[in-house]
Amino acid sequence: MSDAAHCARCDAVCCRLTVVLQPEDAIPEHLTTHLDSGLHVMARDDEGWCVALDGARMNCGIYESRPLICRRFVMNGPYCRQVRDDYAAGEDRSIPLRTL
């Protein structure tokens, strides 16, 4: 079995997933967008990373106020490990978004 996944040894691959915002989230509007379906989500850049990601440090630039769904993402949980495996295999589980 491989080593346990840890944020300190990860390229923040979970920050390429679609982050659907909840009414309780207070995210600056310029960091968000709406899908054609109407869902309010975190915006992503041309390479698929959440625009709130600090690319130099590969960590969340709005950590203290990050969305609920990001707070609930369990490090080394089944979904975390699946996303990392997909990323390593070159697969993309994210929902295509229109870019800013």
| Cβ closest to ligand SF4, residue 15 vs residue 80 | 15
The verdict on 42 binding ligand SF4 (CB under 6 A) reads: yes
The verdict on 60 binding ligand SF4 (CB under 6 A) reads: yes
Q: By CB under 6 A, what part of segment 2-21 binds ligand SF4?
A: 15, 19
SS3 of 51-86: CCEECCCCEECCHHHCCHHHHCCCCCCHHHHHHHHH
The verdict on 52 binding ligand SF4 (CB under 6 A) reads: yes
Q: Can you tell me which of 13, 21, 41, 70 binds ligand SF4, judged by CB under 6 A?
A: 70
The two beta strands, 40-42 and 32-34, are antiparallel
| Cβ closest to ligand SF4, residue 1 vs residue 86 | 86
| Dist. CA 38–CA 100, nearest whole Å | 15
| Cβ closest to ligand SF4, residue 66 vs residue 83 | 66
Question: What tokens does 99 get?
Answer: 């870019």
Question: What tokens does 48 get?
Answer: 């698929």
User: How many helices (H) does the chain have, and how many strands (E)?
Assistant: 2, 4
Sites of contact with ligand SF4 (CB under 6 A): 15, 19, 42, 50, 52-53, 60, 62, 66-67, 70
